[in-house]
Amino acid sequence: MRSLITGVTGQLGYDVVKELNSRGHNFLYAPTRREMNLLDEQSIRSTMESYKPDVVFHCAAYTAVDKAETDVATATSVNVDSTKVIAEECKKLGAKLIYVSTDYVFDGTKPLDELYEVTDKTNPKSIYGLTKLMGEKAALNNPKTFIARTSWVFGINGNNFVKTMLNCFERFPQLTVVADQFGSPTYTVDLAKTLVDMAETDKYGLYHVNNEGYCSWHQFADTIREKAGKDTFVKPVTTEEYYAPQYEKAEKEGRTLTVAYRPRNSKLSKKSLTSAGFDLLPNWEEALDRYLIELKEDKKVLGLNLKK
């Protein structure tokens, strides 16, 4: 299986390469931005036509949620246009395409005791969510496509909520974290395994793929604090309370603060995953334990006082 992986400098692309290597898939190509520029259609086409992959793991994305609200052109180019070209090339080559999408394709207004199914109506309320949904539709131009919606990802190769919290615990006695947005933290090591599992089948379709269990951002932060053995007080606040000081500061400075809409309910049902015979991912708390060990062993973050 000849694999091409976009976004290797990010969290998921990095772990997909590691997972492929661990399974003995040695024919893989993870081009740099210089080798395959997602903003350049010809660069994408020439790279794919030259390498002729059997499967493309399209992990690269424009994920700066707030910035996308004003940088619409770039977000569209990366999340939609590049996906359209990749899907067209996959179709020509008869290659499989795995497109990684997001919980932001939903508006998150479902009652918190309900889950979002893959069959539920999408209704993105942000440019990021809209461009990822448009990317899904573009990906489906290739008949051999898997769409994997995920959420709240954390991995070793990049910035994420866990690393941010660990740094804040070292600097501040108190933090405020949003407590009215709910979803599933997802470890890219576990996500990558499922994506490679998919690539080894022909069970094409739409899936929700994230770690088991649900929590709020506040519960996630407080769990990180507890497992890291820190004393920082993590104060729960509403989304509105969290952003109010930032809006006030921007107004005083004569700036316009642009904040993208965040879904309140990002609880995704994994029925489609189990129905197709794929394994559920481990619980997010157990995944966090493994991630904290990975962080402790990583040379870039040695010195953090993390419990095993």
Which residues does the annotation mark as catalytic? Answer: 128
CA distances from 207 to 57, 132, 266, 274 (A): 15, 14, 14, 10
The two beta strands, 145-150 and 3-6, are unpaired
Element (H, E) at 280: none
Task: Work out the angle at residue 16's Cα, subtended by the Cα atoms of residues 211 and 136, and round it to the nearest 5 degrees.
Answer: 70
Rounded CA separation 127/261 (Å) = 9
19: left (phi over 0), alpha (psi -120 to 50) or beta: alpha
Q: Is 264:113 a contact under the CB 8 Å cutoff?
A: no
Task: Tell me which DSSP letter residue 79 carries.
Answer: I
